[in-house]
Amino acid sequence: MSDWKLDRTYDGAAGEIRWTAFGREDGDPVVLLHGTPFSSYVWRHVGAALASRYRVYAWDMPGYGTSEKSAGQDVSLAAQGRAFADLLEHWGLAGPHVVAHDFGGAVALRAHLLHGAGYRRLALVDPVALAPWGSPFFRLVNESAEVFERLPENLHRALVREYITTTGGPGLHPATLDALVEPWLGEAGRPAFYRQIAQADQRYTDEIQGRYGEIAIPVLVCWGTADAWIPVAKAHELAAAIPGARLRLIEGAGHLVQEDAPAELTAALLGFLDGPADGPGGPDA
């Protein structure tokens, strides 16, 4: 991960958060949220492209990437939603654009609907937002996290590596796969991987799913048509649940659209973020 550095820290209630900001100093702020079991590293290419027009903020959620990983840490979606709202206040961002992937989508939605975080526009990329969610593997680990934590390091590495390869789409470059696995290795990383799965609970999206109709900002839903973790049917369901939401399907991309189709995703985001401040809805992206 030598080509991606989070050079700043924020001490939050759920632990130390690593973050960075780059791009145009006078640009409108865009905040990038990652999902699980990933980190802000997945946004490196798209973030670099957005930086020519925007001030880009990226962060690793507590328990992920280079942020703090510790025994007993609360890394639930509830904790992450509060952490994001606090981080926006720390940055002094009252209404940034927000781009959120996977669990990051649930984090952004919870911060907005439950903690009053204000956004100018919200782009949701293959988000965890609608019940039911969680693969059979995910549910198995959720039920037996303490058993999986005792796996030898070589077997744990293989498990994480194989799990990430099941996202669908054309597949990941070996170096990218190595970078995504790396934060979950070692004395801190191994238990952290199972901790975040053990604390994943659908009730955290159930709490907000019925409120998506209250969202009154422009929303873009992007989805890879070859997503093997969350079926593309959820894209249509989510877009229908949010008033005026735009839907953009990216052909052939899996769950990690940022890796599978960065150019197409960047184009979709720029078309959305650069659009007029017309409130929710508008023409399809």
- Confidence tier at 126 by pLDDT (50, 70, 90): very high
pTM attached to this predicted model: 0.95
Do residues 17 and 82 make contact, with C-beta atoms less than 8 angstroms apart? no
With a cut of 60, say whether residue 274 has pLDDT above it: yes
- Confidence tier at 277 by pLDDT (50, 70, 90): low
Spatial separation of the C-alpha atoms in residues 64 and 45, rounded to whole Å: 19
Q: Considering only CA atoms, which of 71, 73, 98 is closest in space to residue 17?
A: 73
Q: DSSP string spanning 219-246?
A: EEEEEETT-SSS-THHHHHHHHHSTT-E
Average pLDDT over residues 92-120: 98
Q: What is the pLDDT of residue 285?
A: 35
Q: Considering only CA atoms, which of 254, 248, 251 is closest in space to residue 268?
A: 248
Express each pLDDT in 177-234 by its tens digit: 999 999 999 999 999 999 999 999 999 999 999 999 999 999 999 999 999 999 999 9
β partners of residue 98: 31, 122
Q: What is the pLDDT of residue 1?
A: 44
- Classified as helix, coil or strand, 131 is coil
Q: What is the pLDDT of residue 139?
A: 84
Q: What is the pLDDT of residue 91?
A: 98
Average pLDDT over residues 11-24: 97
Q: What is the pLDDT of residue 282?
A: 42
Q: What is the pLDDT of residue 281?
A: 47
Q: What is the pLDDT of residue 280?
A: 52
Mean pLDDT in the chain?
94
With a cut of 50, say whether residue 132 has pLDDT above it: yes
Q: What is the pLDDT of residue 2?
A: 52
Average pLDDT over residues 235-261: 98
- Confidence tier at 283 by pLDDT (50, 70, 90): very low
Share of the chain above pLDDT 90, in %: 90
Q: What is the pLDDT of residue 143?
A: 86
Regarding predicted confidence, which is higher, 277 or 273? 273
Spatial separation of the C-alpha atoms in residues 115 and 102, rounded to whole Å: 19
